[in-house]
């Protein structure tokens, strides 16, 4: 950890407060000391498909792509995470099953990472941890619920609009082909939709 360890720790604690509603300073300290600062260069893998997922990483900066490869060899981008989200295959991390996703840094990335052993000890350190974890998981669930609904009820253009309104910045930082895949359309279609939006 570099010279601005204190700064980033303070930032991590801020995020934990915002995200989980933890405000007690003892609990905060307990949480944040179990997370280790870590960086990834562009292109580096944070997790590889098939491996077990033994770490949960809080994203401090950068963009990370979650993707899998289909039987026909097509790459499908399931999600792109960024600042203040978690880079983890949640299912694999919790259940111990092999990871479904590759997680690759699309830009230089700063993470706060906790391993599974320490993660499982969080409830000792933080009395209300189970409650925070439940809220965390239900938010993840809700994001997917929204995404399923968007595929049942919206056109490609509407899905684009919806996501663009939610996160404009990402379109300047991440190759559009990945965003297209994540939105369930081809790069050509996304390009045409974006052109149309300019008029």
Partner DNA sequence: TTTGTCTCTTGATCTGGATCAAGAAATCAT
Partner DNA sequence: ATGATTTCTTGATCCAGATCAAGAGACAAA
Residues that bind a copy of itself (CB under 8 A): 68, 70, 74, 76-78, 90-91, 94-95, 100, 123, 130, 133-135, 137-138, 140-142, 144-145, 147-149, 151-153, 181-182, 184
User: Quick one: what does residue 188 bind among a copy of itself, DNA, none, with the CB cut-off 5 to 8 Å set by partner type?
Assistant: DNA
Asked if 98 is part of the footprint of DNA (rule: CB under 7 A), the reply reads no
- CA atoms of 117 and 153, how far apart (whole Å): 41
Angle in degrees, CA 53, 54, 60, rounded to 5: 90
Q: Tokens 């792109």, residue?
A: 80
**Residue 189 near DNA by CB under 7 A:** yes
Q: How far is the CB of 100 from a copy of itself (least distance, A)?
A: 8
- Restricting to residues 118-177, which ones interact with DNA according to CB under 7 A? 155-157, 175-177
Residue 99 · residue 49 · CB < 8 Å:
yes
Q: For 159, how many CA atoms within 13 A lie in the half-sphere containing its CB?
A: 21
Q: Which CB contacts under 8 angstroms, 24+ apart, belong to 195-198?
A: 196/157
Q: Which does 175 bind (CB under 5 to 8 A by kind): a copy of itself, DNA, none?
A: DNA
Among 115, 187, 197, 199, interactor with DNA by CB under 7 A: 187
**CB 104 → DNA: shortest distance, Å?**
11
Q: Do residues 84 and 15 touch, judged by C-beta distance below 8 A?
A: yes
Distance, in Å, from the CA atom of 14 to the CA atom of 20, rounded to the nearest integer, reads 10
Select the binding partner of residue 70 from a copy of itself, DNA, none (C-beta < 5 to 8 A, by kind): a copy of itself
CB of 155 to DNA, least distance (A): 3
* Gap between the Cα atoms of 62 and 37, Å rounded: 14
Interface ranges with DNA (CB under 7 A)? 42, 155-157, 175-177, 184-192, 194-195
């Amino acid at each position: 950890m570099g010279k601005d360890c204190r700064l980033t720790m303070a930032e991590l604690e801020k995020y934990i407060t915002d995200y989980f509603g933890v405000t007690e300073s003892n609990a905060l300290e307990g949480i944040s000391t179990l997370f280790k600062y870590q960086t990834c260069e562009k292109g580096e893998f944070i997790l590889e498909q098939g491996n077990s997922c033994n770490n949960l990483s809080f994203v401090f900066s950068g963009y990370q792509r979650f993707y899998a490869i289909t039987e026909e060899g097509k790459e499908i981008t399931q999600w792109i995470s960024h600042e203040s989200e978690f880079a983890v295959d949640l299912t694999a991390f919790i259940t111990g099953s092999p990871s479904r996703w590759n997680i690759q840094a699309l830009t230089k990335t700063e993470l706060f990472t906790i391993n599974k052993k320490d993660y499982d000890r969080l409830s000792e350190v933080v009395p209300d941890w189970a409650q925070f974890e439940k809220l965390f998981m239900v938010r993840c669930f809700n994001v997917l619920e929204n995404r399923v609904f968007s595929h049942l009820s919206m056109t490609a253009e509407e899905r684009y609009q919806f996501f663009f309104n939610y996160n404009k910045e990402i379109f300047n930082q991440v190759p559009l082909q990945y965003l297209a895949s994540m939105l369930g359309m081809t790069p050509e279609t996304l390009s045409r939709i974006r052109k149309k939006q300019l008029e």
